[in-house]
Amino acid sequence: MRKAAKSIVAALVSTLILGNLMFAQGTINQRERRQQRRIADGVRDGELTRKETRKLERRQAKIHAAEARAKADGEFTAKERAKIHKKQNKASRQIYREKHDKQTR
């Protein structure tokens, strides 16, 4: 009976951990797509110059590469996730600034 209870508890814990990891991954990918869309909207609306667009796209590529490196070992830790979020926050602020700096194409 105790063995069965331990097995059930272990299964629940692993499910929760994997669920949280998948949720966090989903939010990172969603945010990445949303930021790409904001850049595309800025280009379409003429709010971003070519130089600004290149700079923002390069930053997005660096974030994507950092995410891939973090996942390369098969474990995406909370610390790695926090670093990615910090980079995404910085990129988001930069997208806002570039879109609202009164420079147009």
Interatomic CA distance for residues 33 and 20, integer angstroms: 20
pLDDT digits (tens, 9 = 90+) for 17-37: 655 544 555 689 999 999 999
- Domain ranges in the chain? 29-99
Interatomic CA distance for residues 101 and 82, integer angstroms: 29
Residue 100, phi then psi, degrees to nearest 5: -110, 20
Within the chain, what is the greatest distance between any pair of CA atoms?
71
What does pTM read for this prediction? 0.72
pLDDT digits (tens, 9 = 90+) for 66-100: 999 999 999 999 999 999 999 999 999 999 999 99
